[in-house]
Amino acid sequence: MPDYLEQKRAKNRGELDRIIVEGKHQPIVTKEEFEQVQKLLEDKSSQMEQCRKNRGVYSDDLWRRKLRCQCGHSFGKVKWHTKTDIVTYAYKCYSQNQTGTVSARRKNGLSTEGICPVALVQDWKLNATAQKVLHDIFDDPEGTLKGAAAVLGGGVAGVEQTEVLRDKSIIEERLKKEQGRYETLLDMRMNNEIPKEVFSRKQQEVEQRIRELEQQMAQYRDVKPATEADVNGKLEALQRLMGQFTMPEDGEFTADDIDKYVYGIRVYEDHFEWLMNLNPDARGELDDAGSPVYFKTITVTPDDERAWFKEHPKWSKSNKYVELEARIYI
């Protein structure tokens, strides 16, 4: 709306009626194309909600959605081997994109203090471990229910606190200490106990550590200790799941099966934590796991890994087989 007195444009904030005139300008896209795009955006909204839950990572790749590093970051996907029939991948902690890996920093004579030590995770390790974990749960339903009853039967007092919760409490404590250091720095500067240059340098260092710890804490905000109701509900949910489950005809769990039955995997330097979804009709990611309870530990042996490659001959075989420890939580 032009202001005729001052000869410049002014916003119409309701002083005059607004009139929409269609077809005045040459359209960039047709109305039908516009409506199709709006429909696609609406259909994508559920995926974007998962993006929010998974801290900004939405991907068609199963493992990118499921993996979370011990330092709190998600994983990126990189090519590992390329063959005519299949490309294999590995997954790398996102924090190492900025800092570099421990091995690369050592090679260049740089400090490794505060650097995430988790190595790349090859996709074949995840696939082989997924088969072992799910077969361990579903091959012997009666044994699984007895084991779960032994773990959960004592109520919340008998439930072992997960490493997830222990990590959360450690980060909380570190964050409080850094916040205390920040307050001390401010007091010292206010009292002229340290020069401005020293204060500025130390302030930046402490603020950086606080930002990093707050980012890590954000990964754990939905994880809470198990309550009595949680424990009782888990056993009932597991009983329902065992009653409804049907083993795949060829015995091979698909990516869709893994997506249904696994909330997510926390990757540690020396083991994995697999958080199971006992209500597969309500699919979710790691942040939906709620109050995970330790169930059991299994080991994927080199023989298991060789057997997996034998059943999947198109994949590039590893030249190094090691035991993989998977701790299962329900």
Amino acid occupying residue 160: E
Q: Which residue has the higher pLDDT, 193 or 317?
A: 193
What distances in angstroms separate CA 52 from CA 112, 199, 207, one per listed residue? 31, 37, 25
Residues 246 and 319 grouped into a single domain: yes
The distance in angstroms from the start CA to the end CA of the chain is 62
**Mean pLDDT computed over 8-22:** 65
Is 82 part of a structural domain of the chain? no
For residue range 37-72, list pLDDT tens digits in order.
Answer: 888 777 666 555 544 444 445 578 999 999 999 888
Residue 20 has pLDDT above 80, yes or no: no
Quick one: pLDDT at residue 44?
A: 62
Quick one: pLDDT at residue 19?
A: 73
Residues 138 and 270 grouped into a single domain: yes
For residue range 196-207, list pLDDT tens digits in order.
Answer: 888 888 888 888
The DSSP code sequence of 8-59 is EE---SSSS-----TTSS--SS-HHHHHHHHHHHHHHHHHHHHHHHTTT---
The span from the CA of 157 to the CA of 136, in Å, is 26
Residue 307 has pLDDT above 80, yes or no: yes
Residues 130 and 247 grouped into a single domain: yes
Residue 18 has pLDDT above 70, yes or no: no
Quick one: pLDDT at residue 274?
A: 94
Q: Quote the mean pLDDT of the chain.
A: 81
The overall pTM is greater than 0.75: no
Residues 11 and 151 grouped into a single domain: no
Which of 197, 218, 239 finishes a domain? 218
**Mean pLDDT computed over 154-178:** 66
Residues 233 and 191 grouped into a single domain: no
Is 92 part of a structural domain of the chain? no
Residue 154 has pLDDT above 70, yes or no: no
Percent of the chain with pLDDT over 70: 78
Residues 168 and 136 grouped into a single domain: no
The band of 260, judged by pLDDT with boundaries at 50, 70 and 90, is very high
Is 93 part of a structural domain of the chain? no
Quick one: pLDDT at residue 328?
A: 93
Quick one: pLDDT at residue 87?
A: 84
The DSSP code sequence of 117-184 is -PPPEEHHHHHHHHHHHHHHHHS-HHHHHHHHHHHHTT-GGGPPPPHHHHHHHHHHHHHHHHHHHHHH
Quick one: pLDDT at residue 221?
A: 58
Residue with tokens 């198990």: 226
Number of domains present in the structure of the chain: 3
Is 104 part of a structural domain of the chain? no
Is 106 part of a structural domain of the chain? no
Q: Which of 35-49, 151-165, 205-219 has the lowest mean pLDDT?
A: 151-165
Quick one: pLDDT at residue 53?
A: 42
Centre a 10 Å sphere on the Cβ of residue 226 and count the other Cβ atoms it contains: 22
What distances in angstroms separate CA 44 from CA 1, 64, 116, 279, 286, one per listed residue? 37, 18, 33, 23, 20
Sheet with 67-69, edge to edge strand ranges: 67-69, 262-267, 272-276, 324-329, 294-300
Amino acid occupying residue 203: Q
Is 204 part of a structural domain of the chain? yes
Residues 141 and 197 grouped into a single domain: no
Residue 273 structural domain? 63-77+126-160+225-329
Is 148 part of a structural domain of the chain? yes
Residues 156 and 170 grouped into a single domain: no
Residue 143 has pLDDT above 80, yes or no: yes
Return the closest-CA partner of residue 289 out of 169, 175, 165: 165
Residues 135 and 251 grouped into a single domain: yes
Quick one: pLDDT at residue 219?
A: 60
Which pair of structure tokens corresponds to residue 261? Answer: 């039955």
Residues 251 and 302 grouped into a single domain: yes
Is 13 part of a structural domain of the chain? yes
Q: Of 165-174, 245-254, 288-297, 309-318, where does the model show the most confidence?
A: 245-254
Residues 182 and 270 grouped into a single domain: no
Residues 235 and 291 grouped into a single domain: yes
What distances in angstroms separate CA 281 from CA 54, 56, 70, 277, 298, one per listed residue? 19, 24, 28, 9, 26
The band of 156, judged by pLDDT with boundaries at 50, 70 and 90, is very low
Percent of the chain with pLDDT over 90: 27
The span from the CA of 91 to the CA of 80, in Å, is 9
Buried/exposed code over 11-39 (b: 16+ C-beta within 10 A; e: otherwise): eeeeeeeeeeeeeeeeeeeeeeeeeeeee
